[in-house]
Structure 1
Amino acid sequence: MTRPLRLVAVSGGLQRPSRAVALTEHLLDLIADEVPCEQRLVELGQLAPYFAGAVWRSELPTAVERALSAVEQADVLVVTSPVYRGSYTGLFKHFFDFIHQDALIGKPVLLAATGGSERHALVIEHQLRPLFSFFQTNTLPLGVYATDKDFVDYRVHNDALIQRARLAVQRALPLLELMRSQETAAVQEVAPA
């Protein structure tokens, strides 16, 4: 029997409630409906006071170190950032600056972003995808971008967005199932006969 996938999401939203958090939670729920997983949501807005001024990982408090370790040990990542001045937030980048450059190699990453209008929809392709290419992750082919009008009371509400999110997860499932089958084979190979 394989263990559940470690699904870790990082939301770059700086406040609560947050559209970025709402989109992140929606994506987590969609994945959890399809694949047995252990979920963890890292909200950078809540951790900001503890790492915003740090320069070295050794300066970070335990709570931030735990969040970084969870990201590095994840089987699958969901990352979401609000668009700020045409890109992900500086706090989002600062958090990932502490991640070891080899820790995410080959991990599937579902990219998502929120913004005030459709004008920033390419942030996924022009900002997020290159960042996670540096880490040599396996960024999933479909990203999910949402605007302010896609939410009502900080809940995903737009049917087109709901369909896009569902499609992004459906397209990711074959890769997640492949990961699970490889893990099962590895466990069986190591287990005594």
Structure 2
Amino acid sequence: MELEKSAKAPAAKGELRIVGFSGNLARPSRTRTLVQAVLDAASARGLGKTVAYDLFDAGPSFGQTPERAKAHPEVELILGAIQKADALVVGTAVYKGAYTGLFKHLFDLFDMTALARKPVIVTATGKAPQHASVIDYHLRPLFLFFDARVATRGLYALEPDFETPERLVPSFQARIDHTVDELAQLLQPATS
């Protein structure tokens, strides 16, 4: 499977690894498209090697994974990639005003220090403009719990922001570019 090959291939020496994760079970999905668009923009800017996963990649046993030590290999592949990443781009569809339960379940499998200081871009897709608050009231606090460095600019996309489930409208690219600007800043080494 091509996805697994690229995920297992080590980044070139000094090249950063940016991992995307979409909390969707279906393909195609608007959420995966949004996450991938951010990864593509980061890659085009030369910020690092990128790879994307979604819940589909975790396989049918994922929902029955009570703890990381009991994770099946396909689940551990995703968990390991997220933990080893230099930065994350995460996304979820909004259901009942919050992130999906299985999206949250994946992050429940991490130790509370596993994502410390890791830059994270949060994204979400939904049908109602008022659900954009999922960025500030659900996703940002989740990653702040892990002491991750959550970007101030999240991305929320509505159905009209997509030409098809696999393609965003061209006008959305400016929003992605601004978010990738912030990711580039978060990836800069800290100076004293």
- Offset at residue 50 of structure 1 (A): 2.2
Aligned-pair RMSD on alpha carbons?
A: 1.6
1:152 corresponding residue in structure 2 = 163
2:15 is matched with 4
1:187 maps to none
Does structure 2 retain, via aligned residues, the 8 Å contact 1:48–1:91?
Answer: no
CA–CA separation in structure 2 for the residues paired with 1:137 and 1:79: 12
Pairing partner for 2:153 from 135, 142, 159: 142
Letter in 2 for 1:39: T
What is the CA–CA distance in structure 1 between the aligned matches of 2:144 and 2:47, rounded to whole Å? 27
Alignment length, in residue pairs?
179
What does 1:101-180 align with in structure 2 at a 5 Å threshold? 101-154=112-165, 155-157=167-169, 159=171, 161-178=172-189
Q: Which has the larger radius of gyration?
A: 1
**Could you report, residue by residue, the CA deviation over 1:82-116 in whole angstroms, capped at 9, with x for unpaired residues?**
00110000000000011121111001000100001
Aligned to 1:190: none
Identity of paired residues, percent? 37
Residue in 1 that maps onto 2:75:
64
Residues 1:91 and 2:102 are matched in the alignment: yes
Q: Which amino acid aligns with 1:52?
A: G
Q: Which residue of 1 aligns with 2:5?
A: none
Range with greater deviation from structure 2 (109-118 or 169-178):
169-178
> Tell me, what secondary structure is at the counterpart of 1:3?
coil
For residue 52 of structure 2, the aligned residue among 21, 26, 41 is 41
Structure 1 residue runs of 4+, over 4 Å off?
Answer: none
Is contact 2:59-2:75 (8 Å) kept?
no
Which consecutive unaligned segments of at least 5 residues does structure 2 have?
Answer: 1-11
Distance in 1 separating the partners of 2:105 and 2:189: 32
CA contact (8 A) 2:155 2:175 kept: yes
Structure 1 pair 84–45 and aligned structure 2 pair: CA distance change class (3 A): farther
Counterpart contact for 2:57–2:74, Cα < 8 Å: no
